Amino acid sequence: MALGPDGAARTAGPGRSAGNHRVGVFGGTFDPVHVGHLAVAVNVGHALGLDRVLLVVAREPWQKVGTRPIAPGEDRFALVEAALEGLEDRRLEASRLELDRPGPSYMADTLAELSRRHPGVELFLIVGPEVADDLATWERPDEVCRLATLVVVTRPGVALLQPPPPPWRSMVVEVPALHVSSTELRARAAAGRPLDVLVPPGAVQEIRRRGLYAGCRDDRRWDDAGDGAG
Ligand code: ATP
């Protein structure tokens, strides 16, 4: 048994792990997904011997709503699915859990839903170091704390300032540093600069096919700065 994109159980396909007990949960806006995101998911999955790593696409990223335009959830989900095609690591999976749930995308609800659907599952919530410093501002942090072990990713040479204090169960996993951000990629797309290599090939094709980010104006400072890259 494995998790389907909606987090529901489905039969394992060829090459898929049949295990479903240790599941990584990597939430994000993925606007767009990029190689930095994939490097996190692949390396945490490997380091912790996880059975699945879900890339959970936020429907309404409550911390970002109102701060800038966000591409439709279905587009962002399609990009993640396309980005995973061709990867050797078959444990990564795009998840619709938050897309299919109305309202703001709270991680507490997502973890609760996974626990309910899969009794006995062990959840590992994967977050960046900056997110780890913000945990107290999350919706129902006590529930998040109870339902998952926190996996804080760090880059070589970057010390974690403050590991989350007990009762948080946490661990640190070092992943390769890939200096790429969705913010920069939206600006690149808007300016007609190449996305190749920074974004997996399938996702680049989907961005073009769907006409995403072409008129993106939230990142004007990158255009204005004329960083000369690409
Ligand atoms: P934006 O630039 O639009 O704010 P973002 O990539 O920071 O995008 P999300 O898509 O929500 O935002 O990121 C999901 C998770 O991926 C976050 O925990 C973030 O810390 C992590 N992340 C983003 N970029 C990288 C990167 N280059 N390397 C490692 N982790 C990353």
Using most ligand atoms within 8 A of CB, pick from 31, 38, 40, 178 the residue to mutate for ligand 1: 40
- Tens of pLDDT along 167-209? 999 999 999 989 999 999 999 999 999 999 999 999 999 999 9
**Model confidence, pTM:** 0.86
Q: What integer is the mean pLDDT of 2-21?
A: 47
Q: Which is it for strands 148-154 and 170-174: parallel, antiparallel or unpaired?
A: parallel
110 and 144 Cβ atoms separated by less than 8 Å: no
CB atoms within 10 A of CB 142: 10
Mean pLDDT of the chain: 85
- Atom in ligand 1 nearest the alpha carbon of residue 68: 3
Q: Which is it for strands 2-3 and 9-10: parallel, antiparallel or unpaired?
A: antiparallel
Q: Which two tokens stand for residue 34?
A: 């990029």
On the 0-12 / 13-18 / 19+ scale of CB atoms within 10 A, 213 is buried
Q: Which is it for strands 148-154 and 52-57: parallel, antiparallel or unpaired?
A: unpaired
CA of 155 to the centre of ligand 1 (A): 13
Q: Which is it for strands 92-95 and 122-127: parallel, antiparallel or unpaired?
A: unpaired
- Tens of pLDDT along 33-64? 999 999 999 999 999 999 999 999 999 876 66
Give the alpha-carbon dihedral of 178, 151, 4, 13, to 10 degrees. 70
Task: Give residue 6's pLDDT band: very low, low, confident or very high (50, 70, 90).
Answer: low
Using most ligand atoms within 8 A of CB, pick from 38, 181, 198, 218 the residue to mutate for ligand 1: 181
Q: What integer is the mean pLDDT of 158-163?
A: 69
Nearest to 124 by CA among 6, 20, 16, 26: 26
Give the alpha-carbon dihedral of 172, 150, 61, 114, to 10 degrees. 140
CB atoms within 10 A of CB 6: 14
User: Which protein residues are within 6 Å of ligand 1, measured from CB?
Assistant: 28-31, 36-37, 40, 127-128, 131, 178, 180-183
> What domains are there in the chain, each with its CATH number?
24-179 (3.40.50.620)
